[in-house]
Amino acid sequence: MAGQTDPHISLFSPQEVEFMAEDELVEIVPNMNMEQLNFISGDFGLFIPQIPTKVPLWLAVALKRRGKCSFRPPGWMSVDNLTQILEAERESQSTFQALPFSYVEIARLLFDHAHDDIPDKYMVRSLVEDIRDVRLHKLETNLGSFQGTSAVKISNVSAMEVNIVRPFVRRALEAFYKHDKPEADVGRDTRSSRQQREANNEPRRPLRQR
């Protein structure tokens, strides 16, 4: 079935997250001639040997796999930049460094299909993995410090990371909200609180409202 994931695990499957990331533009250097492509998603081309051009990631990977182009790794993927980011991530306990929203997916696809186009590929790969680890760890530890609010700001978290923590944070925040709310309900009549109780026919909750 086209894209029906179990929402209790996570909203989007990893493949769907990758799908969304594949529309990001990357730079490639074609090694052949090809006419302009008039896709539904946009016009790309012309393809002239040795002239760099920007195309969506999925198209770039497809061309690379057929040996028709080589990649120009994005600016943020240099050893220097990544080392800087890794240090900054390690230093700060509560903020995240600014990285492209789909950095995980982009890096993954590049490593899988175009590793020979990445200078110092082993270094870059290990840096990206370290950054991922540090950020995930930060996310996990920060989760313990949530309080009962209605809005939590998460800056610079990437798509994949959001998708991973989403189910847990959702349930945690909902539980907080539910427990904070009854204080405000005391003034309301019983009818609306009954309605609220019955309206909870969605995923089974271990905690029931009074």
Partner 1 sequence: MGIFKQREREIFDLMASSSEVGGSSADYETMMSTSDVELLKRAWRNEKAAPEILQYEGALVERAKEQIELVEETIEDYVENGKDPLLVSLYQMDLDRTQFLLRSYLRVRLVKIEKFMFHNLKSEEAERRLSEQERVFATKCADDLVKHFEETVLLKLPENYQSVLKQSQISEVDDMVPQPHLDTFVVCRSNNFVSLNLYEEGESPETVEMERGDLYFIRYKIVKGAIESGQIDLI
Binding interface with partner 1 (CB under 8 A): 1-4, 11-12, 19-20, 22-26, 34-43, 54, 56, 58-59, 62-63, 66, 68, 74-76, 98-101, 106, 150-157, 159, 162, 166, 169-170, 173-174, 177-178, 184, 191, 194-195, 198-202
> Which residue lies nearer to partner 1 by CB, 76 or 111?
76
Q: 């949530």: which residue's tokens?
A: 146
Residue 158 CB, nearest distance to partner 1 (Å)? 10
Of the pair 122, 208, the CB lying nearest partner 1 is at 208
C-alpha–C-alpha distance, residues 91 and 65, integer Å: 39
- Looking at beta carbons only, is 122 or 187 nearer to partner 1? 187
Residue 21 CB-density burial (10 A; 0-12 exposed, 13-18 middle, 19+ buried): buried
Which tokens belong to 56? Answer: 């969506």
C-beta of 13 vs 125, nearer to partner 1 = 13
Q: How near is the Cβ of 22 to partner 1 at its closest, in Å?
A: 8
Residues in contact with 77: Cβ distance below 8 Å, sequence separation at least 6, in sequence order:
107, 110, 118, 124, 128
CB-CB contact of 128 with 82 (8 Å): yes
| Least distance in angstroms from the C-beta of 122 to partner 1 | 23
Q: How far is the CB of 185 from partner 1 (least distance, A)?
A: 11
* For partner 1, the closer CB: 68 or 121: 68
> How far apart are alpha carbons 130 and 97 in whole angstroms?
13
Contact 45, 53 (CB under 8 A): yes
Q: Across the chain, which distance is largest between two alpha carbons, in Å?
A: 73
Q: Least CB distance from residue 52 to partner 1, whole Å?
A: 13
